[in-house]
């Protein structure tokens, strides 16, 4: 792509929706996104769903990136980002397919990118009347947020947010580096900060998701907490050389 093409594509926005077994939620989510952002391209990343997620998404007119088998939420997000890098999109918005994010909050993220940020994160802590989840989850967020601050000086109010907007530099970093492929949270943001990207937070209302089979809970939350701690330490201490790989 030439210079002129690159300049023209700076406005192109891809909304990537990582989805696993979300056929019941997709219609409402895609409908809302279409209404709010008619010019954006919608990409559903089907992460090895066992239901009709891909067919439903195609039926709704969205582009579908079908992973051949289940890779995990983070890898699905990364696949969407890689797609955007191949397609030369100026902005990628990651948006959960379960209906917990509000399309109206994307505007704030895009404005943050336009104001010079490389990565804009939707934060439920900055929004009023947002669904904050269980006590354990709130504590977890605070703990990891505090750790990230301690390790890198990064101020984060909602490190687990899945609602993000990525400019070209953030896209390249996440497409090329060791993007956490299970649950990219504070570690992904620490990675961005260590790569000297400009990170901004904007308020985002989170809704209690509709038909949600939660990613966290029970024994998984223990392994999650352990993985997160370790991943944070690795992200905060890995050398520049490994960041670039």
Partner 1 sequence: MPTRQVVVFLGLSVLLLAVVVELVRRRTLRVEYSWLWIAACLTSMLLIVRYDLLVSLTALVGAVVPTSTLFFLCILYLALLCLHYSIRISRLTQQVKDLAQELAILRVAVDEAEPRSGEGAATR
Give the interface with partner 1 as residue ranges (CB under 8 A). Answer: 45, 63-69, 71, 75, 78-79, 82-83, 86, 178, 181
Listing DSSP states for 150-170 in one string gives HHH----S-TT---EEE-HHH
Q: Smallest gap, in angstroms, from Cβ of residue 97 to partner 1?
A: 16
Pick 65 or 154: Cβ nearer partner 1: 65
d(CA 162, CA 29): 15
Scanning the structure block, which residue is given the tokens 């960041």? 243
In this complex, which beta carbon is closest to partner 1, that of residue 78 or of residue 231? 78
Three-state DSSP class for residue 54: helix
Q: How far apart are CA 233 and CA 185, in angstroms?
A: 13
| Minimum distance, C-beta of residue 105 to partner 1, in the bound complex (Å) | 27
Could you tell me the strand order of the sheet in which 63-67 lies? 63-67, 41-47, 13-19, 91-94, 164-166, 119-123, 199-203
Which is closer to partner 1, CB of 23 or CB of 46?
46
Q: By C-beta, is 45 or 235 nearer to partner 1?
A: 45
User: Shortest Cβ distance from residue 122 to partner 1 (Å)?
Assistant: 24
Which of 132, 182 has the CB closer to partner 1?
Answer: 182
Structure-token pair, residue 129: 């009347």
**Smallest distance, partner 1 to C-beta of residue 227, A:** 14
**At closest approach, how far in Å is the CB of 20 from partner 1?**
14
């Amino acid at each position: 792509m030439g210079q002129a093409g690159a300049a023209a594509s700076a406005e192109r926005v891809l909304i990537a929706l990582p989805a696993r077994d979300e056929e019941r939620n997709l219609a409402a989510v895609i409908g809302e996104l279409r209404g709010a952002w008619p010019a954006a391209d919608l990409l559903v990343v089907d992460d090895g769903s066992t239901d009709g997620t891909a067919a439903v998404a195609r039926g709704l007119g969205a582009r579908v990136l079908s992973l051949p088998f289940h890779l995990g939420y983070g890898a699905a997000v990364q696949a969407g980002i890689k797609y955007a890098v191949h397609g030369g999109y100026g902005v990628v918005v990651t948006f959960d397919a379960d209906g917990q994010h509000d399309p109206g909050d994307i505007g704030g993220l895009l404005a943050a990118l336009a104001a010079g940020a490389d990565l804009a994160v939707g934060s439920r802590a900055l929004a009023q009347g947002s669904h904050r989840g269980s006590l354990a989850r709130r504590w977890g967020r605070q703990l990891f947020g505090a750790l990230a601050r301690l390790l890198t000086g990064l101020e984060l109010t909602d490190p687990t947010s899945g609602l993000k907007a990525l400019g070209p530099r953030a896209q390249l970093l996440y497409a090329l580096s060791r993007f956490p492929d299970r649950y990219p949270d504070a570690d992904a943001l620490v990675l961005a900060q260590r790569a000297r990207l400009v990170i901004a937070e904007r308020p985002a209302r989170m809704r209690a998701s509709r038909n949600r089979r939660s990613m966290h809970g029970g024994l998984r939350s223990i392994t999650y907490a352990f993985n997160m701690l370790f991943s944070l330490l690795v992200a905060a201490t890995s050398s520049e050389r490994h960041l670039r790989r």
